[in-house]
Amino acid sequence: MYVLMKSLFISLLIFALYSVVMVSSQLSSADQTTIFNQHNAWRSNPSPAAKGTIKPLVWNTTIATTLQAHMNKCDGRFSPSALQGIVGEFRISMSPSLNVPSMLNFLNATRSYFNWSTKACSPGSCLHNYAVWNTTTSFACGYKQCNGSHYIMCDYFPRGGFSGVWPYTPSSIPAPTTTPTPTNTPTPTTTPKPTTTPTPTTTPKPTTTPTPAPTSAPAPGSIDWRSKSTPVRNQGGCGSCYIFGALAVAEARNKIKTGLDIDLSEQNVLNCYSNGCNGGWPMTVFQLMQPVGVEYENTLPYTAVKQATCSNSTQPRFRWTSQANMAGVTKQHFLDALKAGPVVVALFADGGFQSYGSGVYSCPEQYTGVNHAVVLTGYDASKDAWIIKNSWGTSWGSVGGYIYLSAANDRCNMMKYAGSYVTI
């Protein structure tokens, strides 16, 4: 889940808004110390054992102040820092009273939800992964009693908790364990399992996976560029979806014009884009790299880690003539833009989007922000659905890394901003 700079992590849970009944409250110094010490105890002695050392976290007073100010509103929403893609965040509710040890026990119990072989979380939210995420360096939590319930929210920087990525490299992969059913535990709500952040140690990019193509003649009015698109890639745990989306459009537009498959180096852009794995905007990628071009994958492979050197080397580089945004943000504008080829767009990828399996997906509520960049690859008139190429690997979804997104509504907010494309 790359994450746009205007974004929020993919939410794992939908929760109701609560009445605004506010009671003055915040974490006591004793509770803060308990939470802090337990986090670092988990990191110093993780289970399973880590290959190497997980550095201790520091308590981030800036995050603590900002988070507490947000929690004091009792509005049941994610914090501004999470909405802007700066931190990873979860919220836990308790009643009838605040019980920090119980909250921490619950957090630790979610450790068993994570399958180290598949790098997947089931059946619940792997909140413990936030606490032991290797590349996270600081965190803070806040507390507020609202409408009779007690809430703790914790923010982690840089963000972690991504799907399909180890929180740290284990010394050996343990066998799956039976998931416990905790009793009298708090209720969590979490921010996305983005695609935006940490530094995974193994995030290979598939380069030979066949691109799925329609199996029957498209309905009148349909547009489908999957056969002219390069294979679905995998951004891993780095928040680089904005790069993957932009370069996938360049690759596809080149294939439409020349018939040639190319594989551009997302790593080249990642190294040169100041925000790196912390999200960005696809048009800025085009503007940044158009004057100098982009290296190819075989000369600078993707590692999902921003490297120190931005290379404008003498290696062969791919260049395009220009870049542009679509003329508008109506459904017809998107359909008109698709006639010439795929475009990179932004949307809100919620928990349902993240766990998409099949069919036509429609966000269950109207979102107002965006948190993920994807490639709008076509439109299926028979389904009234957009065909969207993701960057979470071919195992995501049931159609080789693509998703059908309802075009009958815009609840995932795809039409908030105009899509972008390049001219070859």
Active site residue 372: yes
The total of other beta-carbon atoms located within 10 Å of residue 162's CB is 30
Write down the residue that tokens 């940490």 correspond to: 198
Q: Are 103 and 186 in contact (CB under 8 A)?
A: yes
Non-local (6+) Cβ contacts of 407 within 8 A are 331, 379, 384, 385, 386
Active site residue 154: no
Distances (CA, A) of 142 to 22, 71, 92: 15, 7, 11
Active site residue 390: yes
- Kindly give the interhelix angle for 241-258 and 282-289, rounded to the nearest 10 degrees: 60
E strand or H helix at 367, and its extent? none
Could you say which of 154, 278, 372, 413 is catalytic? 372
Could you say which of 141, 146, 154, 241 is catalytic? 241
Non-local (6+) Cβ contacts of 406 within 8 A are 360, 361, 362, 384, 385, 386
Gap between the Cα atoms of 351 and 388, Å rounded: 17
Could you say which of 134, 390, 412, 413 is catalytic? 390
Gap between the Cα atoms of 299 and 93, Å rounded: 49
Q: β-pairing, 402-406 with 138-146?
A: unpaired
Residues annotated as part of the active site: 241, 372, 390
